[in-house]
Amino acid sequence: MMREVYSTLFLVLCIYHVEGESAVLGQHFLHIIKRQEFFSQGNTAAIEFQAKSKSYPDLPSWLTLKQRTELQDAYLFGTPRAGAVSTDIQIIALNKGTYQTEQDAFSITVDTTKDLPKSIVELRVKNYNIEEFLAGQALSNLTRIMAKLWPEAGTLQVVKVSSLVDELGRVPVPDGPMQPLPKEGVLVQIGGAGDFSALLASVSQQVNNTNCMNQEQFIGIREDFEPEFNLDWCAFKMFPL
């Protein structure tokens, strides 16, 4: 006697609390999506995160979702620009082991009352992937270094953080067979209300006046950043906003 067995896949949808966060116009916004907030802390299953606006199939254009692997947390980040409006965000977590689906929702209010920075310094950090840069203290440490080198700036604002893959459209490749995949790199823009310091102006002048092949010329300022940050000094930029 033949038996037909039908299996049905049930997706369990759990709605979590709705909370609010604030994003400031022209400043870097970050929301970390933690695995343990959706499933038990000891869960080692692969979890895929997705995010979208509650009223639209996609995220607002200024927001990006990054998740390096399905065994890691995800990062929702971006910089609201002119015209950005408050929005409700849905986060969907899919457990690849059980196919259980859980959901979170929160609102982002865009604050347009803060002053924009007068000047911006742009750095390219070569030795990080975007997720690890956002996960720890790297951004805080980099901002602290810049505050020391740029005291005229006043209170610094992180204007933008993004992956160099997204900025340049080039995916890093290994240097050769059996070599590790290089870090993709991170672009960081830091703004201030004051004029540029003489030191930063000197670095900018060196970049503009040479072919920049020998980065040893920046050894003085490099010591402030290394070994934590390996910067591409040829890509160093300063500009008014």
pLDDT of residue 45: 86
**DSSP 8-state secondary structure symbol assigned to residue 231:** B
Amino acid sitting at position 167: E
187, 152 in Cβ contact below 8 A?
no
Pairwise CA distance, residues 241 & 116, whole Å = 8
pTM over 0.85: yes
Pairwise CA distance, residues 131 & 120, whole Å = 23
**DSSP 8-state secondary structure symbol assigned to residue 94:** E
pLDDT per residue, tens digit, the chain (241 aa), is 444 433 333 344 444 445 689 999 999 999 999 998 888 766 788 999 999 999 889 999 999 999 999 999 999 999 999 999 999 999 999 999 889 999 999 999 999 999 999 999 999 999 999 999 999 999 999 999 999 999 999 999 999 999 999 998 877 776 777 778 889 999 999 999 999 999 999 888 888 776 676 666 676 788 999 999 999 988 999 999 8
- Per residue in 131-141, pLDDT tens? 999 999 999 99
Domain range 13-111, its CATH number among 2.60.40.10, 3.40.190.10, 3.40.50.1170, 2.60.120.620: 2.60.40.10
Residue 3 in tokens: 């038996």
- Per residue in 69-97, pLDDT tens? 999 999 999 999 999 999 999 999 999 98
Residue 97 in tokens: 């082991």
Residue 205 in tokens: 């002048």
Residue pointed to by tokens 């500009």:
239
DSSP per-residue letters across 152-201: GG-S-EEEEEEEHHHHH------SSTTPPPPP--EEEEEEESSPPPHHHH
Collapsing DSSP to helix, strand or coil, 147 comes out as helix
Residue 194 in tokens: 């004051």
H-run or E-run covering 31: strand 29-33
pLDDT of residue 32: 96
